[in-house]
Structures are given as C-alpha cells and as structure tokens.
Amino acid sequence: MYSSTQLFLIYSGLYFAALVFSLVINSVFMRFARTLGMRDQDQTPVRWSSTAKPSLGGIGFYILFLASFSLYSVLFPGQSSDALRPDLLGLLAATSLGFLMGLADDAYNTKPLLKLLVQIACGGILIVSGSAIDLFDEQWMNIVLTIFWVVGMMNSINMLDNMDGITTIVSLSVLATALMVMLVIGPVDPVYMVLMVGSLAALSGFLFFNWYPSRMFMGDTGSQFLGVFLAFVGIRFFWNMPSIEGDWEPYRQVTSAVIVFLLPIVDTSIVTFSRIAKGNSPFVGGRDHTTHHLSYAGFSDGQVALVFIGLSVLHGFLTFVMFRYIPVWENIHTLIFVSYALVLAITLFILTKKTHPPKLT
C-alpha cells in the first residue's frame, strides 16, 4: 500500500508523462497526417472555422486512455484484477465503440440513424456492465434515463465542438470536478484516478493545438469517445454519488449533474429548440450555437473560450461547495442551484435572440 505522498508522486508523474506523450503524438499527427477527418472543401462548412484542418485529436485521446488502462497494473502491481471489473470492462467496450463510430464518421460521414443506434448501444453496454443511473425504484425508468443521458451527452459534446478549444475546456472541467468530488467524498478508486488523470493529460496536450487559432480538431472521433467517457463519469461521480455523510440524496445528485454539465446541456437545448422552431433539423450543423452568438456580440474567439473557462471554473466551485459544505441537502439548496442554472440558460437564450451574424456586404 502506498502512502499519500507516494500516491501524489505517482499520479503527478503519470500526468506529466501523459502530457508529454500527448504533445508528441499530436505533433506527429500534425506532421504526417493531412487528410483524415478533413471535409471536402466543396461541402458547406458547419464549423466556425472555414479552414480545413486535420481532425485527429480523438485518436490521441483514445491511445492515452488505453495506455492508462494498461499502465494501472504497472503502477499498482498486485492489483491488476481491479481493472478487470465489469464496470471498467463495460467502459472500455463502450468508449471503443464510440471511438470507432466517430472514426468512421470523420472518414465517411455516417448516417444519423446509424450514429443513433451506436449511441444507444453504448448506453446499453454501460447499463449491462453495471453503470446505470440509480434514481428511481422502477428499474426500467433508470434504464431509459441512462440511455437518454448517454445519447444526449454524446450528441451534446459533439455539438459543442463548434469553436476552437470549447469542448476541450468543458471536458477538462468535468474531469477535474469529478476528481475533486472523488477526493472529497472518498474512497479514492486508483483505477478511476489513473484513467481520469491520463485523460486530463491527453486533453491538456491537445488544448495546445486546439486553442485559437487551432491547428487541429478533435473530430467526431474525439467527441464521441469523450461523450461516452464523460457520460460514464457523470453517472459514477454525480448521478450516483452519495453525500459526504454517506446519505443517498437524489435532489443533490441530480442538481450536481446539471451544474457540472450545464454548458453542454444549455447549448444543445437552445440550439435544438431553435432549429425545430424554425422548421430545421436539429442534426444539421450550423453557426447558431451560444459560442457563435457570443462572437456576434463582439467577443473574439479567444475571449469566448475565456468565458467558457470562467463558467467552467465557477461550476466546479459550486459543485465543490455542494458536496463539501452542505452536509444535509434541503429544498432551499435545490432552489438556489436550479435558479442559477435557469438564469444562465435564460441569459444565453436571450443572447441568441438579440445577436445575429454580421451581414455580408
């Protein structure tokens, strides 16, 4: 058994080693890969950037995820069987399926129905392997909610990937907040720590290439992998996380999941409802996201990213307060946090109605 100091050194060493690997492998991709995930120049652009760039970030995410999985037995000899638990094998299978579907979509533009069926399958794999939301007494309701959560998160992360650095920032925030919650509530699961530290390093290294002006996108390969992984993290560390006293408090758990994932939830909801109201398909990309409207309001791309960093840090802090300093959850706490979420959602919705793309001259 390692001491606290030894564990800190192990996780720190893992982070910096994975960060260097992420920087190196993305540099290699930039140097030698020029076509994978780059759309036909004649197609109508749906990204904010009109310049074709390689969509290879997701490959680095997946490689480092697998490497972290494999390194666990090296870092914790004698405990390798812990990584073979059903929930972790299910996570490995679901993220692999999401990664492969995203890779196919980057290369061939797969049909929306096929993507939906694969996303449902990813949710089914997590449920069968023991990673389902446990909120209702009726199990079928938990299954439906879990499928909706996984499919919704895979699409939300994909839709949020519309401007340089945004999805990377939000994903880093979710993983960092989940780590914080695990440290606050306990016990610390070394397998989860290794996987999330490795993934944090992968995202940190990728952000170097994805920050405005970006040189690389994560593509559907990255957003679909992250969608499954973050959905799993949401289930394990927010939906199904008891209080610091060990109590099961559904309102706290639901509220924490909403706050941590508020940015992708709000963006996807606003865009989906707006497109449906205009008679457009919500599955066809466009420049109508909250990030785009912040740009229409006068923010530069870098400033939009800074706004999302600020909001992400705030949501992480609110979640920390929620788990660390509120021993007993009451209705007033739900009202306060939900009110904040509604204020942010309404503010961003009004923004989308008050700002418009500049007219072409």
pLDDT average per 10 residues of sequence, the chain (361 residues): 89 95 90 56 47 76 94 86 88 96 86 92 97 94 97 94 92 97 91 95 94 87 95 96 89 96 95 87 81 92 95 97 93 96 96 83 52
Q: Identify whether 97 is part of a domain.
A: yes
> Is 360 domain-assigned?
no
282 falls within a domain: yes
Q: What total number of domains does the chain contain?
A: 1
Q: Are 10 and 2 in contact (CB under 8 A)?
A: yes
175, 200 contact by CB (below 8 A): yes
CB 61 within 8 A of CB 203: yes
Around Cβ 104, how many Cβ atoms within 10 Å?
17
Residue 96 included in any domain = yes
Give phi and psi for 352, each to the nearest 5.
-70, -20
217 has which bridge partners? 55
Tell me which residue range forms the domain holding 195.
Answer: 4-38+46-354
Residue 202 has what pLDDT?
A: 96
How much is the pLDDT for 287? 84
Residue 40: per-residue pLDDT: 44
Give pLDDT, residue 2: 84
Q: Residue 15: what pLDDT?
A: 96
In a domain, 316, yes or no: yes
Which burial class, exposed, middle or buried, applies to 47 when counting CB atoms under 10 A from its CB (0-12, 13-18, 19+)? Answer: middle
| pTM for this prediction | 0.92
Q: Give a yes or no: residue 120 inside a domain.
A: yes
Residue 92: inside a domain: yes
Per the CB < 8 A criterion, the answer to whether 315 and 260 are in contact is yes
In a domain, 359, yes or no: no
